[in-house]
Amino acid sequence: MRSKIVMFLSLIWCLALPSQADQLKVDGFATLDINISNSQTAGIRHVISQPDASYLGEPSFANSSIGLQFEWQSSSQLQWVAQTVLKERKEYKLDYLIQMAFARYTLTPNWQFRIGRTGLDLYMMTEYRDIGFAFNYGHPPTEFYAVVPHQNLDGIDVTYTYPLEQSVLTYKLFAGRSNAPIISDEDFIWDVELKSIYGMNLSLQTQNWLLRSNFTTTQAGNTNEQQIQLLSAIQQIPSVIWPTRQALIESLLIKGKRFNYFTLGAHYDDSHWILQSELAYIDSDSEVLNHLKAGYISVGTHHDDDTWLLTLSAAKSNNRVDPGPLVTTPQLDALYHGVIRHTNFYLIDQHTWSISWRRVLTSTLAAKIQLDHTQANHLPSAFYLHKNLSSGDHDRYFQSLGLSLNWVF
Protein backbone atom coordinates (compact mmCIF):
# COMPACT_ATOMS: atom_id res chain seq x y z
CA MET A 1 0.00 0.00 0.00
CA ARG A 2 2.81 2.38 0.87
CA SER A 3 4.16 4.73 -1.84
CA LYS A 4 1.58 3.73 -4.46
CA ILE A 5 1.26 7.36 -5.50
CA VAL A 6 5.01 7.61 -5.99
CA MET A 7 5.13 4.47 -8.12
CA PHE A 8 2.13 5.65 -10.15
CA LEU A 9 3.81 8.97 -10.89
CA SER A 10 7.03 7.17 -11.84
CA LEU A 11 5.06 5.03 -14.30
CA ILE A 12 3.57 8.14 -15.88
CA TRP A 13 7.10 9.48 -16.31
CA CYS A 14 8.25 6.31 -18.07
CA LEU A 15 5.27 6.33 -20.46
CA ALA A 16 5.24 10.03 -21.23
CA LEU A 17 8.87 11.12 -21.43
CA PRO A 18 9.86 9.47 -24.73
CA SER A 19 7.33 11.62 -26.60
CA GLN A 20 8.06 14.75 -24.55
CA ALA A 21 11.87 14.68 -24.42
CA ASP A 22 12.17 18.12 -26.00
CA GLN A 23 10.16 19.61 -23.10
CA LEU A 24 12.10 17.85 -20.35
CA LYS A 25 14.49 19.80 -18.12
CA VAL A 26 17.21 17.76 -16.41
CA ASP A 27 19.47 19.15 -13.68
CA GLY A 28 22.11 17.40 -11.60
CA PHE A 29 24.00 17.98 -8.38
CA ALA A 30 26.85 16.24 -6.60
CA THR A 31 28.93 16.52 -3.44
CA LEU A 32 32.32 14.94 -2.79
CA ASP A 33 32.88 15.17 0.95
CA ILE A 34 35.46 13.82 3.39
CA ASN A 35 35.09 14.10 7.16
CA ILE A 36 37.83 13.48 9.71
CA SER A 37 37.51 13.41 13.50
CA ASN A 38 39.65 13.04 16.62
CA SER A 39 37.02 11.10 18.60
CA GLN A 40 37.69 7.49 19.59
CA THR A 41 34.21 6.77 20.96
CA ALA A 42 31.72 8.98 19.07
CA GLY A 43 31.58 8.20 15.35
CA ILE A 44 30.76 11.48 13.60
CA ARG A 45 27.88 11.49 11.13
CA HIS A 46 25.34 14.18 10.26
CA VAL A 47 22.20 12.12 9.58
CA ILE A 48 20.99 9.29 11.86
CA SER A 49 20.22 7.13 8.83
CA GLN A 50 23.92 7.09 7.81
CA PRO A 51 25.58 3.68 8.36
CA ASP A 52 29.14 5.03 8.34
CA ALA A 53 30.96 7.48 10.62
CA SER A 54 34.41 9.01 11.10
CA TYR A 55 36.62 8.21 14.09
CA LEU A 56 40.21 9.08 14.93
CA GLY A 57 42.26 7.74 12.02
CA GLU A 58 39.14 6.61 10.13
CA PRO A 59 37.86 9.27 7.68
CA SER A 60 34.37 9.00 6.24
CA PHE A 61 32.94 9.84 2.82
CA ALA A 62 29.34 9.24 3.96
CA ASN A 63 28.22 12.81 3.16
CA SER A 64 29.08 12.42 -0.52
CA SER A 65 26.14 12.13 -2.91
CA ILE A 66 24.96 12.59 -6.48
CA GLY A 67 21.46 13.34 -7.72
CA LEU A 68 19.33 14.19 -10.73
CA GLN A 69 16.15 16.27 -10.93
CA PHE A 70 13.69 16.04 -13.82
CA GLU A 71 11.02 18.64 -14.58
CA TRP A 72 8.40 18.33 -17.29
CA GLN A 73 5.94 21.17 -17.97
CA SER A 74 3.08 19.25 -19.60
CA SER A 75 0.78 22.29 -19.73
CA SER A 76 0.68 25.90 -18.60
CA GLN A 77 -0.72 24.77 -15.22
CA LEU A 78 0.62 21.23 -14.72
CA GLN A 79 4.25 20.33 -13.96
CA TRP A 80 5.81 16.95 -13.11
CA VAL A 81 8.92 16.79 -10.92
CA ALA A 82 11.11 13.85 -9.93
CA GLN A 83 14.38 13.75 -8.00
CA THR A 84 16.64 10.81 -7.26
CA VAL A 85 19.62 10.91 -4.89
CA LEU A 86 22.33 8.29 -4.54
CA LYS A 87 24.20 8.40 -1.22
CA GLU A 88 25.56 5.92 1.28
CA ARG A 89 22.84 3.80 2.88
CA LYS A 90 22.58 0.59 4.86
CA GLU A 91 20.08 -0.74 2.33
CA TYR A 92 19.57 0.39 -1.26
CA LYS A 93 15.88 0.29 -2.09
CA LEU A 94 14.08 1.96 -4.98
CA ASP A 95 11.84 3.64 -2.41
CA TYR A 96 14.87 5.25 -0.72
CA LEU A 97 16.42 6.39 -4.03
CA ILE A 98 13.31 8.36 -5.09
CA GLN A 99 13.63 11.55 -3.07
CA MET A 100 10.76 13.36 -4.80
CA ALA A 101 8.13 12.46 -7.40
CA PHE A 102 5.11 14.73 -7.58
CA ALA A 103 2.67 16.55 -9.82
CA ARG A 104 2.29 20.30 -9.26
CA TYR A 105 -0.89 22.04 -10.37
CA THR A 106 -1.05 25.86 -10.38
CA LEU A 107 -4.71 26.79 -10.23
CA THR A 108 -4.08 30.55 -10.07
CA PRO A 109 -0.97 32.64 -9.36
CA ASN A 110 -1.95 32.40 -5.67
CA TRP A 111 -3.02 28.73 -5.35
CA GLN A 112 -0.81 25.71 -5.90
CA PHE A 113 -1.41 21.99 -5.27
CA ARG A 114 1.05 19.08 -5.18
CA ILE A 115 0.44 15.35 -4.93
CA GLY A 116 3.02 12.57 -4.68
CA ARG A 117 6.33 12.51 -2.85
CA THR A 118 7.42 15.98 -1.75
CA GLY A 119 9.87 17.27 0.85
CA LEU A 120 8.66 16.91 4.45
CA ASP A 121 8.56 20.63 5.14
CA LEU A 122 9.84 20.74 8.73
CA TYR A 123 12.90 22.87 8.07
CA MET A 124 14.01 26.02 6.33
CA MET A 125 16.33 24.02 4.05
CA THR A 126 13.89 21.15 3.36
CA GLU A 127 13.74 21.53 -0.42
CA TYR A 128 17.50 21.66 -1.02
CA ARG A 129 19.29 20.00 1.94
CA ASP A 130 20.73 17.33 -0.40
CA ILE A 131 22.12 19.96 -2.79
CA GLY A 132 25.38 21.05 -1.18
CA PHE A 133 25.91 23.89 -3.68
CA ALA A 134 22.66 25.51 -2.52
CA PHE A 135 23.67 26.37 1.06
CA ASN A 136 26.67 27.89 2.85
CA TYR A 137 27.23 25.28 5.60
CA GLY A 138 29.58 22.37 5.14
CA HIS A 139 26.62 20.36 6.41
CA PRO A 140 23.31 21.46 7.99
CA PRO A 141 23.65 21.81 11.81
CA THR A 142 23.58 18.27 13.20
CA GLU A 143 21.81 19.10 16.49
CA PHE A 144 18.85 20.46 14.52
CA TYR A 145 18.70 18.59 11.21
CA ALA A 146 19.67 15.10 12.44
CA VAL A 147 16.89 14.63 15.00
CA VAL A 148 14.28 13.44 12.48
CA PRO A 149 15.55 11.10 9.72
CA HIS A 150 12.51 11.61 7.47
CA GLN A 151 13.07 13.92 4.49
CA ASN A 152 10.02 13.34 2.31
CA LEU A 153 6.25 13.05 2.50
CA ASP A 154 3.99 10.76 0.49
CA GLY A 155 0.79 12.78 0.28
CA ILE A 156 -0.54 16.17 -0.74
CA ASP A 157 0.07 19.84 0.03
CA VAL A 158 -1.72 23.09 -0.71
CA THR A 159 0.02 26.47 -0.84
CA TYR A 160 -1.62 29.90 -0.88
CA THR A 161 0.53 32.95 -1.61
CA TYR A 162 -0.71 36.41 -0.65
CA PRO A 163 1.31 39.41 -1.92
CA LEU A 164 1.61 42.38 0.42
CA GLU A 165 2.97 45.82 -0.37
CA GLN A 166 6.63 44.98 0.35
CA SER A 167 6.48 41.28 1.22
CA VAL A 168 4.86 37.95 0.40
CA LEU A 169 2.85 35.91 2.91
CA THR A 170 2.61 32.15 2.27
CA TYR A 171 0.34 29.58 3.92
CA LYS A 172 0.90 25.86 3.41
CA LEU A 173 -1.02 22.79 4.55
CA PHE A 174 0.20 19.23 4.03
CA ALA A 175 -0.85 15.67 4.88
CA GLY A 176 0.54 12.20 4.26
CA ARG A 177 2.94 9.60 5.61
CA SER A 178 6.67 8.90 5.53
CA ASN A 179 9.26 6.14 6.03
CA ALA A 180 12.96 6.45 6.81
CA PRO A 181 15.58 4.23 8.44
CA ILE A 182 17.29 4.83 11.77
CA ILE A 183 20.75 3.24 11.99
CA SER A 184 22.48 2.64 15.31
CA ASP A 185 25.17 0.49 16.91
CA GLU A 186 25.47 -3.29 16.57
CA ASP A 187 23.87 -3.26 13.09
CA PHE A 188 20.58 -1.93 14.45
CA ILE A 189 18.23 -0.73 11.69
CA TRP A 190 14.61 0.33 11.98
CA ASP A 191 12.54 1.49 9.02
CA VAL A 192 10.49 4.04 10.97
CA GLU A 193 6.99 4.66 9.67
CA LEU A 194 5.22 7.94 10.39
CA LYS A 195 1.53 7.89 9.55
CA SER A 196 -1.24 10.49 9.74
CA ILE A 197 1.18 13.39 9.22
CA TYR A 198 -0.60 16.74 9.26
CA GLY A 199 1.25 20.05 9.14
CA MET A 200 0.98 23.74 8.42
CA ASN A 201 3.54 26.42 7.63
CA LEU A 202 3.36 30.18 7.68
CA SER A 203 6.15 32.24 6.12
CA LEU A 204 6.80 35.89 5.39
CA GLN A 205 9.32 36.86 2.70
CA THR A 206 10.72 40.38 2.21
CA GLN A 207 13.70 41.59 0.21
CA ASN A 208 16.25 40.49 2.86
CA TRP A 209 14.23 38.53 5.41
CA LEU A 210 12.49 35.15 5.56
CA LEU A 211 10.45 34.41 8.70
CA ARG A 212 8.92 30.96 9.07
CA SER A 213 6.86 28.88 11.51
CA ASN A 214 5.72 25.26 11.38
CA PHE A 215 3.51 22.89 13.33
CA THR A 216 3.44 19.19 12.41
CA THR A 217 1.77 16.29 14.15
CA THR A 218 2.12 12.59 13.36
CA GLN A 219 1.79 9.07 14.77
CA ALA A 220 4.32 6.26 14.93
CA GLY A 221 3.14 3.58 12.54
CA ASN A 222 5.26 0.59 13.50
CA THR A 223 7.44 -1.08 16.11
CA ASN A 224 10.77 -2.71 15.36
CA GLU A 225 11.45 -6.38 15.99
CA GLN A 226 13.91 -5.80 18.82
CA GLN A 227 11.35 -3.74 20.75
CA ILE A 228 8.82 -6.55 20.39
CA GLN A 229 11.34 -9.07 21.76
CA LEU A 230 12.21 -6.81 24.69
CA LEU A 231 8.53 -6.28 25.50
CA SER A 232 7.95 -10.02 25.54
CA ALA A 233 10.94 -10.57 27.86
CA ILE A 234 10.23 -7.77 30.33
CA GLN A 235 6.57 -8.75 30.68
CA GLN A 236 7.74 -12.07 32.12
CA ILE A 237 9.51 -10.36 35.06
CA PRO A 238 7.39 -10.02 38.25
CA SER A 239 6.83 -6.42 39.37
CA VAL A 240 8.17 -7.42 42.81
CA ILE A 241 11.59 -7.90 41.21
CA TRP A 242 11.27 -4.94 38.84
CA PRO A 243 8.88 -2.26 40.25
CA THR A 244 9.48 0.17 37.34
CA ARG A 245 8.93 -2.38 34.59
CA GLN A 246 5.49 -1.00 33.66
CA ALA A 247 6.93 2.44 32.94
CA LEU A 248 9.57 0.82 30.73
CA ILE A 249 6.91 -1.23 28.95
CA GLU A 250 4.99 1.98 28.20
CA SER A 251 8.18 3.54 26.82
CA LEU A 252 8.70 0.61 24.45
CA LEU A 253 5.11 0.75 23.13
CA ILE A 254 5.85 3.22 20.32
CA LYS A 255 3.20 2.28 17.76
CA GLY A 256 0.27 4.69 17.80
CA LYS A 257 2.01 7.29 19.95
CA ARG A 258 1.56 10.87 18.74
CA PHE A 259 4.47 13.26 18.15
CA ASN A 260 4.16 17.04 17.79
CA TYR A 261 6.86 19.16 16.16
CA PHE A 262 7.07 22.96 16.43
CA THR A 263 9.63 25.15 14.64
CA LEU A 264 10.42 28.84 14.25
CA GLY A 265 12.98 30.11 11.76
CA ALA A 266 14.51 33.34 10.51
CA HIS A 267 16.93 34.09 7.69
CA TYR A 268 18.50 37.45 6.77
CA ASP A 269 20.83 38.09 3.83
CA ASP A 270 21.57 41.53 2.39
CA SER A 271 24.43 40.25 0.16
CA HIS A 272 26.95 41.31 2.82
CA TRP A 273 25.73 40.07 6.23
CA ILE A 274 23.99 36.77 6.96
CA LEU A 275 21.87 35.70 9.92
CA GLN A 276 20.06 32.37 10.11
CA SER A 277 18.41 30.60 13.03
CA GLU A 278 15.88 27.84 13.68
CA LEU A 279 14.36 26.58 16.94
CA ALA A 280 12.42 23.35 17.43
CA TYR A 281 10.47 21.65 20.19
CA ILE A 282 9.23 18.04 20.08
CA ASP A 283 6.51 16.84 22.44
CA SER A 284 4.86 13.43 22.39
CA ASP A 285 2.96 10.73 24.23
CA SER A 286 6.15 8.65 24.36
CA GLU A 287 9.09 9.00 26.71
CA VAL A 288 11.45 7.92 23.90
CA LEU A 289 11.23 11.33 22.20
CA ASN A 290 9.69 13.90 24.49
CA HIS A 291 10.41 17.49 25.54
CA LEU A 292 13.33 17.69 23.11
CA LYS A 293 14.59 21.18 22.37
CA ALA A 294 16.94 21.92 19.47
CA GLY A 295 18.17 24.97 17.62
CA TYR A 296 21.02 26.87 16.06
CA ILE A 297 22.05 30.42 15.23
CA SER A 298 24.51 31.45 12.53
CA VAL A 299 26.06 34.82 11.75
CA GLY A 300 28.36 35.46 8.84
CA THR A 301 29.43 37.60 5.95
CA HIS A 302 29.89 37.49 2.18
CA HIS A 303 33.08 38.91 0.73
CA ASP A 304 33.39 38.58 -3.05
CA ASP A 305 33.35 34.81 -3.71
CA ASP A 306 33.86 33.86 -0.04
CA THR A 307 31.26 33.27 2.66
CA TRP A 308 32.14 32.84 6.35
CA LEU A 309 29.76 31.57 9.04
CA LEU A 310 29.99 31.11 12.81
CA THR A 311 27.33 28.76 14.18
CA LEU A 312 26.22 27.59 17.61
CA SER A 313 23.86 24.59 17.58
CA ALA A 314 22.45 22.68 20.54
CA ALA A 315 19.99 19.91 21.44
CA LYS A 316 18.73 18.73 24.82
CA SER A 317 16.03 16.26 25.87
CA ASN A 318 14.40 15.58 29.23
CA ASN A 319 14.15 11.79 28.96
CA ARG A 320 14.13 10.13 32.34
CA VAL A 321 16.15 7.00 33.09
CA ASP A 322 13.97 4.47 34.93
CA PRO A 323 15.88 2.24 37.38
CA GLY A 324 16.54 -1.42 36.71
CA PRO A 325 15.42 -4.53 38.61
CA LEU A 326 16.07 -4.88 42.34
CA VAL A 327 17.81 -8.20 41.75
CA THR A 328 21.06 -8.33 39.79
CA THR A 329 21.77 -11.25 37.46
CA PRO A 330 23.60 -11.35 34.11
CA GLN A 331 20.30 -12.02 32.31
CA LEU A 332 18.43 -9.18 34.01
CA ASP A 333 21.35 -6.79 33.52
CA ALA A 334 21.46 -7.62 29.79
CA LEU A 335 17.70 -7.14 29.50
CA TYR A 336 17.84 -3.78 31.28
CA HIS A 337 20.72 -2.65 29.04
CA GLY A 338 18.70 -3.59 25.95
CA VAL A 339 15.60 -1.75 27.17
CA ILE A 340 17.51 1.41 28.12
CA ARG A 341 19.28 1.41 24.76
CA HIS A 342 15.86 1.83 23.11
CA THR A 343 14.07 4.09 25.59
CA ASN A 344 17.08 6.43 25.93
CA PHE A 345 17.98 6.53 22.25
CA TYR A 346 17.07 10.24 22.17
CA LEU A 347 18.65 11.08 25.53
CA ILE A 348 20.62 14.03 24.16
CA ASP A 349 22.53 16.89 25.78
CA GLN A 350 25.16 18.56 23.60
CA HIS A 351 26.19 21.66 21.69
CA THR A 352 28.57 22.44 18.82
CA TRP A 353 30.49 25.53 17.72
CA SER A 354 31.20 25.59 13.97
CA ILE A 355 33.23 27.74 11.59
CA SER A 356 32.30 27.40 7.92
CA TRP A 357 33.98 28.76 4.80
CA ARG A 358 32.55 28.58 1.28
CA ARG A 359 34.35 29.67 -1.89
CA VAL A 360 32.51 29.92 -5.20
CA LEU A 361 35.01 28.62 -7.76
CA THR A 362 32.74 28.87 -10.81
CA SER A 363 29.04 29.42 -11.44
CA THR A 364 28.50 25.68 -10.93
CA LEU A 365 31.24 24.68 -8.46
CA ALA A 366 31.89 25.57 -4.82
CA ALA A 367 34.41 24.38 -2.23
CA LYS A 368 33.55 24.27 1.48
CA ILE A 369 35.41 23.65 4.74
CA GLN A 370 33.76 23.33 8.15
CA LEU A 371 35.36 22.81 11.56
CA ASP A 372 33.10 21.59 14.39
CA HIS A 373 33.88 21.55 18.12
CA THR A 374 31.34 19.48 20.08
CA GLN A 375 30.69 19.04 23.78
CA ALA A 376 28.55 15.93 24.34
CA ASN A 377 27.36 15.64 27.94
CA HIS A 378 25.80 12.24 27.32
CA LEU A 379 27.01 9.26 25.30
CA PRO A 380 25.74 7.16 23.64
CA SER A 381 23.80 9.65 21.54
CA ALA A 382 21.31 9.16 18.71
CA PHE A 383 23.45 11.43 16.54
CA TYR A 384 26.50 9.14 16.46
CA LEU A 385 27.74 5.61 16.07
CA HIS A 386 29.98 4.42 18.91
CA LYS A 387 33.04 2.41 19.87
CA ASN A 388 34.61 1.44 23.20
CA LEU A 389 31.74 2.75 25.35
CA SER A 390 32.18 -0.08 27.86
CA SER A 391 35.52 1.39 28.91
CA GLY A 392 33.71 4.29 30.57
CA ASP A 393 36.29 6.74 29.15
CA HIS A 394 34.03 8.59 26.72
CA ASP A 395 35.10 11.51 24.53
CA ARG A 396 32.99 14.39 25.82
CA TYR A 397 34.86 16.95 23.74
CA PHE A 398 35.83 16.27 20.14
CA GLN A 399 36.43 18.02 16.85
CA SER A 400 35.63 17.12 13.26
CA LEU A 401 36.69 18.67 9.97
CA GLY A 402 34.73 18.42 6.74
CA LEU A 403 36.03 19.31 3.27
CA SER A 404 33.81 19.16 0.21
CA LEU A 405 33.44 20.04 -3.45
CA ASN A 406 29.86 20.79 -4.55
CA TRP A 407 28.62 20.87 -8.15
CA VAL A 408 25.43 21.62 -10.03
CA PHE A 409 25.15 20.64 -13.68
Mean pLDDT by 10 residues, the chain (409 residues): 50 52 86 97 94 95 96 95 94 88 97 97 93 96 95 97 96 97 90 96 97 97 88 89 86 90 98 98 85 96 97 90 84 86 87 98 98 94 87 86 97
- Phi/psi at 391 (5° precision): -70, -20
pLDDT at 306: 98
Residue pair 197/178 in contact by the 8 Å Cβ criterion: yes
Q: Residue 364 and residue 352: Cα distance in Å, rounded?
A: 30
Q: How many CA atoms lie within 13 A of 194 on its CB side?
A: 27
38 falls within a domain: no
Average pLDDT value over all residues in the chain: 91
pLDDT at 378: 87
40 falls within a domain: no
pLDDT at 248: 83
195 falls within a domain: yes
Of residues 238, 242, 278, 284, the one with CA closest to residue 260: 284
181 falls within a domain: yes
Which alpha helices (DSSP H) does 195-277 contain, by range? 225-234, 245-252
pLDDT at 270: 96
Domain extent for 133: 104-408
pLDDT at 345: 86
Residue pair 81/70 in contact by the 8 Å Cβ criterion: yes
Q: What is the DSSP letter of 272?
A: S
| pTM tops 0.85 | yes
Q: How many CA atoms lie within 13 A of 264 on its CB side?
A: 4
CA angle (113, 97, 120) in 5-degree steps:
40
pLDDT at 6: 53
- 62 SS3 class: coil
Share of the chain above pLDDT 70, in %: 94
66 falls within a domain: no
Counting the structural domains of the chain, the total is 1
Residue pair 69/101 in contact by the 8 Å Cβ criterion: no
Q: How many CA atoms lie within 13 A of 359 on its CB side?
A: 6
391 falls within a domain: yes
Q: What is the DSSP letter of 20?
A: G
- Phi/psi at 390 (5° precision): -65, -20
Burial class of residue 225 (count of CB atoms within 10 Å of its CB; 0-12, 13-18, 19+): exposed
pLDDT at 10: 54
List, for residues 62-111, the tens digit of each pLDDT value. Answer: 999 999 999 999 999 999 999 999 999 888 888 889 999 999 999 999 99
58 falls within a domain: no
The answer for residues whose C-beta is within 8 angstroms of residue 376's C-beta and 6 or more apart is: 42, 349, 350, 384, 394, 395, 396, 397, 398
pLDDT at 17: 53
DSSP per position, 184-245: ETTTEEEEEEEEEEEEEEEEEE-SSEEEEEEEEEEEE----HHHHHHHHHHTTS-TTT-TTH
Give me the CATH number covering residue 116.
2.40.160
Residue pair 348/317 in contact by the 8 Å Cβ criterion: yes
362 falls within a domain: yes
